[in-house]
Structure 1
């Protein structure tokens, strides 16, 4: 689709508070639409009402797919309702420069995940538990399905809503890098209530730090390329790498190996799918 021109200082409307509130509202709207969109999954497999661990593989997969479809739908509804239209979506064939950012960003996020996890391990900082292990359990088939989901639903939906809609909307009031930071703060804080229920404040901080840092990297990739495919591919590569490590850990029973497998596994269980 046609790529809108880059925003400049003269394009900003000087309303950072209003733009931030719109961004927060879009996040809440996205979460609400995602929740409603999952209702067919509960009809398909009522066991989901008892918990993800009690549901079938098909039920869990359908729940996740519909969740991310709903998230993307929320972004589309906003673009249509505000008159921006689908031309607002930054999709085009990656250029040579885009490929550089895509490859560098994919490697960078994996390195970031490992380095931060290693640092937290050395400092004995725990990581809060997320719903990832509830979703996959010890089921290797579900892990393989998750790799498919992150490539075709998870990464595209999250990057579309948080980068191409929310971050791009913030360009109207902030510089690009400030918009990246604001978007990343919102992305991390939206998970705060879930983690606070555990009562582990240090673990919560550790997990949100990983999420914030990853979001900054993806936001930077989008800001530099104006191509949604770049952060989406980097995001999918990171999540696929995480699940691949988890698959190998279960397959070869290396959960307690040191240092790399156990550190990466801790990082996996610390970062939810949103």
Structure 2
């Protein structure tokens, strides 16, 4: 996980240095940072993961779970907003700041959510990390630990005090738990990949239609 974050950061630096916050540079930034997760997961799986990562076309029954999981997760951002309004906790995210005034980039992220972000992150955190942990501990513990690790690269981009970081971390941790459960129950990585991509894409579409 650390290797994926570091590698993604190293790959993304040239995009920011050369292009600033242009749409081309931001697209390259997201692609290269996510590529770090995919490359790290692939290297680890080839060298140290003894079990094959199962990726199959979902059945109709599984497709229902994909949609239900993605839609159910949409309640989490609403809960975070309610808690923020109630407690007065002010929070921010670096990636959202980068997207300010760039509706085109938000639409790009809708596409990247499905074709890159979901696949890369789920391959590393569920397929590789959770899969490896499951070999040495119970499935429930593996899901929880993989979900906690999933929070770390996201929390790097959160701004505000400790309360803000903890509040925002509810979203990736909850997503990790749901995606981890899907993978454990169905032994098919395509479910968390598609559910994660659909969830992210829906959030970006909501941002596009409400903010621009």
Once the two structures are TM-superposed, the CA of residue 190 in structure 1 deviates from its matched residue by 4.2
Structure 1 contact 106–235 (Cα < 8 Å) conserved: yes
CA–CA distance in structure 1, aligned partners of residues 9 and 164 of structure 2: 26
After the TM superposition, which segments of 4 or more aligned residues of structure 1 sit over 3 Å from their partners?
Answer: 189-195
Instruction: State whether structure 2 residue 121 is matched by structure 1 residue 147.
Output: no
Once the two structures are TM-superposed, the CA of residue 100 in structure 1 deviates from its matched residue by 2.8
1:202 maps to which of 151, 163, 169:
163
Q: Give the 3 Å change call, closer, same or farther, for CA 170–83 of structure 1 in structure 2.
A: closer
Structure 1 contact 159–232 (Cα < 8 Å) conserved: yes
Q: Secondary structure at the match of 1:174?
A: coil
Q: Secondary structure at the match of 2:119?
A: helix
Alignment map for 1:29-108 (pairs within 5 Å): 29-39=3-13, 41-42=15-16, 46-48=18-20, 55-82=21-48, 84=50, 88-108=52-72
Aligned residue in 1 for 2:178: 217
Structure 1 stretches lacking a partner, 5+ long: 1-26, 49-54, 252-274
Q: Give the 3 Å change call, closer, same or farther, for CA 206–90 of structure 1 in structure 2.
A: same
CA–CA distance in structure 1, aligned partners of residues 155 and 26 of structure 2: 23
Aligned residue in 2 for 1:242: 203
Structure 2 contact 49–128 (Cα < 8 Å) conserved: no
Once the two structures are TM-superposed, the CA of residue 136 in structure 1 deviates from its matched residue by 1.3
Q: Give the 3 Å change call, closer, same or farther, for CA 135–37 of structure 1 in structure 2.
A: same
Alignment map for 1:156-195 (pairs within 5 Å): 156-192=119-155, 194-195=157-158
Q: Give the 3 Å change call, closer, same or farther, for CA 29–104 of structure 1 in structure 2.
A: same
Return the TM-score normalized by structure 2: 0.90
Larger Rg: 1
Higher helix fraction (1 or 2): 2
Aligned CA RMSD, in angstroms, stands at 2.1
CA–CA distance in structure 1, aligned partners of residues 91 and 208 of structure 2: 21
CA–CA distance in structure 2, aligned partners of residues 165 and 38 of structure 1: 23
Q: Give the 3 Å change call, closer, same or farther, for CA 135–28 of structure 1 in structure 2.
A: same
Structure 1 contact 68–153 (Cα < 8 Å) conserved: yes
Q: Give the 3 Å change call, closer, same or farther, for CA 192–62 of structure 1 in structure 2.
A: closer
Structure 1 contact 72–161 (Cα < 8 Å) conserved: yes
Structure 2 contact 126–183 (Cα < 8 Å) conserved: yes
Once the two structures are TM-superposed, the CA of residue 177 in structure 1 deviates from its matched residue by 1.7
CA–CA distance in structure 2, aligned partners of residues 148 and 127 of structure 1: 29
Q: Secondary structure at the match of 1:94?
A: coil
Aligned residue in 2 for 1:133: 96
Structure 2 contact 95–157 (Cα < 8 Å) conserved: no
Q: Give the 3 Å change call, closer, same or farther, for CA 134–119 of structure 1 in structure 2.
A: closer
